[in-house]
């Protein structure tokens, strides 16, 4: 049994408002053991001349080394990064820029000391609900087989994230269909040595959204189906209709079943929450984060202390 079950939090809400270093300091104050460092948006875009991504690799490495040093001073583990979100769109200029940005995501991941970078695949949100299924499969295959050699070069892993719905169209995302998700994952793993560098991030909120369509399974059963290929998590809750990124235990997900499933598949990583923290206003983000951490640690303590385990914090 795992000793010291550790809680992590996505830094995304804080990085955009306070910057990268202050976001780490807030994470320390709210009591997390680790963080998911966000690398998305214009701040990290090779096309933006003001972005660190527009600089040389040495300059990029120096920038992220400074962040890693501050995390070490604070005793905060950067357990994962979240790279770019768009997926291929079959628009040459944008797809080329995406690969360039992901290479930098993976370099940053290495420098930050994180073992894995989470990436989104090709999505119905951009490609439309009537896009040819074979095109979706080929674009997703092309995306990941182009970026996984960089994961090998930097000795980090890429995690493909479970998808949910395409809300603007009122349909399940193409790769929200768990059968399609598994097929594309296995196909990519069969190329060269990519299985060593390709893994899965289960996003419970996304899987909960997908469960409304096509007899897709619950988040817990998604975990059971994906098993040992899971290396990291985006834990959050919702009402199955909108991607709310609520604190676990505040939506419709059966969290005892989720943790039963995680135990069954032998998950031993961080319990990382990816939350919207502005439900009570921007000035309440830190208080909301602290409450979320308390909720998760209380849940873990109740669940596992009776089994002779410890919960960090």
Q: Write the pLDDT tens digit of every residue in 119-131.
A: 999 999 999 999 9
Please check whether residue 148 lies inside any domain of the structure.
Answer: yes
Closest to 248 in 3D by CA, of 237, 257, 240 = 237
Please check whether residue 87 lies inside any domain of the structure.
Answer: yes
Residue 3 pLDDT greater than 60, yes or no: no
Residues in the chain: 313
pLDDT at 311: 64
Question: Which residues constitute the domain of residue 218?
Answer: 7-307
pTM value surpassing 0.75: yes
pLDDT at 223: 98
Give the CATH number, domain containing residue 30: 3.20.20.150
Q: Mean pLDDT across the stretch 167-180?
A: 96
Q: Please, what is the average pLDDT of the chain?
A: 95
Number of domains in the chain: 1
Strands (E), 122-172: 157-161, 165-166, 171-172
Residue 36 pLDDT greater than 50, yes or no: yes
294 exposure class (CB count in 10 Å sphere: 0-12, 13-18, 19+)? middle
**What tens digit of pLDDT does each residue of 240-267 get?**
999 999 999 999 999 999 999 999 999 9
Please check whether residue 186 lies inside any domain of the structure.
Answer: yes
Residue 4 pLDDT greater than 90, yes or no: no
Please check whether residue 313 lies inside any domain of the structure.
Answer: no
Please check whether residue 72 lies inside any domain of the structure.
Answer: yes
pLDDT at 86: 92
* C-alpha distance across the termini of the chain, in Å: 18
177: DSSP letter: S
Q: How far is CA 288 from the centre of its chain?
A: 20
d(CA 134, CA 143): 14
**What tens digit of pLDDT does each residue of 55-98 get?**
999 999 999 999 999 999 999 999 999 999 999 999 999 999 99
**What tens digit of pLDDT does each residue of 86-96 get?**
999 999 999 99
Residue 312 pLDDT greater than 90, yes or no: no
Please check whether residue 2 lies inside any domain of the structure.
Answer: no
d(CA 238, CA 211): 12
């Amino acid at each position: 049994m795992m000793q010291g079950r550790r809680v992590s939090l996505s830094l995304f809400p804080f990085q955009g408002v306070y910057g990268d270093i202050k976001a780490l300091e807030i994470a320390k104050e709210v009591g997390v053991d680790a963080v998911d460092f966000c690398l998305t948006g214009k701040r990290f875009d090779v096309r933006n001349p003001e972005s660190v991504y527009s600089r040389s690799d040495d300059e990029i490495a120096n920038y992220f080394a400074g962040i890693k040093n501050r995390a070490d001073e604070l005793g905060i583990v950067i357990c994962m990064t979240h790279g770019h979100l768009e997926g291929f769109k079959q628009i040459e200029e944008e797809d080329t820029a995406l690969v360039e940005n992901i290479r930098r995501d993976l370099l940053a991941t290495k420098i930050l000391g994180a073992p894995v970078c989470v990436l989104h695949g090709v999505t119905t949100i951009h490609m439309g609900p009537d896009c040819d299924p074979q095109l979706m499969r080929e674009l997703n295959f092309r995306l990941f087989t182009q970026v996984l050699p960089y994961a090998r070069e930097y000795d980090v892993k890429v995690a493909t994230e479970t998808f949910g719905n395409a809300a603007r169209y009122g349909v399940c995302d193409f790769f929200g269909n768990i059968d399609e998700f598994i097929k594309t994952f296995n196909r990519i793993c069969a190329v060269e040595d990519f299985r060593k560098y390709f893994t899965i991030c289960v996003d419970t909120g996304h899987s909960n959204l997908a469960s409304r369509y096509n007899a897709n399974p619950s988040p817990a059963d998604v975990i059971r189906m994906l098993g040992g290929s899971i290396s990291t998590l985006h834990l959050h809750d919702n009402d199955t209709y909108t991607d709310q990124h609520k604190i676990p235990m505040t939506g419709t997900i059966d969290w005892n079943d989720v943790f039963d499933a995680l135990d069954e598949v032998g998950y031993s990583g961080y319990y990382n929450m990816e939350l919207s923290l502005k439900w009570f206003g921007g000035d309440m983000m830190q208080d909301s984060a602290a409450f979320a951490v308390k909720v998760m640690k209380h849940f873990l303590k109740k669940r596992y202390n009776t089994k002779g385990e410890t919960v960090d914090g």
